[in-house]
A and B are shown apart, each in its own frame.
Chain A
Amino acid sequence: MFGDTINVLHNALNLRVQRQQVISSNIANSDTPGYAPARLNFEEQLQNSISDSQVSLSSSDPEHFPIHDEAPGVQGSVSREPSLSRIGDKNNVSLDQEMQRLSENQIKYEAMTKMLRKKFSTLQSVLQK
């Protein structure tokens, strides 16, 4: 009944919250010597999981419900960007880049919550008929 939208949005929201944590620890450690900023990469994996889930089971009877096998969910992968220069304190955090990532992540999170709300309000208006 709900389709894939809610599952995909749920997964993506969780990943955005995790990315928020990663970015806040980068910002928190912007003065820690030797700290290599972490990145959480999930866009590509999420894209693949969405296109994979288009494959549906064949139904031999029109009464069969289409089965949306719940995807295990994209975990995302963490990578580090260590400083390559041999001078300074080997801290590779760029505060302005991190702030940009932070606001981008937040805006996208808001967009997703808005989409979820729209989805639910559509369902609600159907239920009230």
Chain B
Amino acid sequence: MSVFQSMQISSSALQAQSTRLNTISSNLANINSTSTPEGGPYREKSVIFRTRNPQFDQQLQSSMKNPNQGVRVERIVESRDPPKEVYNPSHPQANEEGYVQKPDINMVEEMTDMQAAVRSYEANVNSIKSAQRMARQALQIGS
């Protein structure tokens, strides 16, 4: 039934938005992380969204023609901005000149991105609720 397909589309968006929220939390948590397993300071991560068709047989159709597309996180990219340098000679990770490399994460940017992610999430929850209500109404037709 196609009401369920619209729920699938919305739930793909819920997944994508929660991945986005996870990366934002990770950015905020690591706002002061000066070292990572990969070496160097933590780098800001962001998600790249991409449309997705919910079922494989629909992927064969031209994606421009098919209007029913979910969304998925295509990949998570790291910021290429250079880390900011803070003078702190007593820090164990300070270089010869006494500078420590810190991630260049803008707190305000992360918080606004977080709000936007939450709003999108809510919009999709409402869309699922609406589809649910339609399905329930359809079930009552005969009674």
Interface residues of A (CB under 8 A from B): 13, 16-18, 20-25, 27-33, 35, 38, 40, 78, 80, 95, 98-99, 102-103, 105-106, 109-110, 113-114, 116-117, 120
Closest to B129 in A: A106
Of A21, A25, A105, most B-chain CB atoms within 10 Å: A25
Residue of B nearest to A40 (CB): B67
B134–A117 touching, CB < 8 Å: no
B70 to chain A: which residues have CB within 8 Å?
Answer: 25, 28
The answer to whether B69 has its CB under 8 Å from any CB of chain A is yes
Whether a CB of chain A sits under 8 angstroms from the CB of B119 is yes
Main secondary structure of the interface of B (DSSP, over half): helix
**Complex contact A22–B133 (CB within 8 A):** no
Chain A residues contacting B48 (CB-CB under 8 Å) are: 33
Query: CB-CB contacts of B27-59 with A at 8 A, as 1s and 0s?
Result: 000000000000000000000111100000000
A13–B10 alpha-carbon span in the complex (Å): 20
Please measure, in the bound complex, the distance between the C-alpha atom of A108 and the C-alpha atom of B133, giving whole angstroms: 12
A17 lies within 8 A of B2 (CB): yes
Interface residues on B, range: 35 or more
- Write the residues of chain B forming the contact surface with A, with a CB cutoff of 8 angstroms: 2-3, 5-7, 9-10, 12-13, 16-17, 20, 48-51, 64-65, 67-71, 116, 119-120, 123-124, 126-128, 130-131, 133-134, 137-138, 140-143
Question: Are B130 and A102 in contact, with the CB atoms below 8 A?
Answer: yes
The residues of B that contact A103 with a CB separation of less than 8 Å are 130
A-B contact pairs, 16 of them (CB 8 A): A23-B6, A24-B6, A25-B9, A27-B120, A28-B9, A28-B12, A28-B70, A30-B123, A31-B120, A35-B51, A38-B67, A98-B123, A105-B130, A110-B137, A116-B141, A117-B140
Q: Which of A32, A98, A113, A117 has the most CB of B within 10 A?
A: A32
Given contacts A23-B127, A31-B120, contact A113 B68 (CB under 8 A): no
Query: Which residue of B is nearest A114, CB measured?
Result: B137
Residues of B within 8 A of A114 (CB): 137
Structural contact, A32 and B51, CB atoms closer than 8 A: yes
Docked CA distance A46–B52 (Å):
30
Chain B hits for A22, CB < 8 A? 67-68
Q: Of B20, B67, B142, which contacts A78 at CB under 8 A?
A: B67
- Shortest A24–chain B CB gap in Å is 4
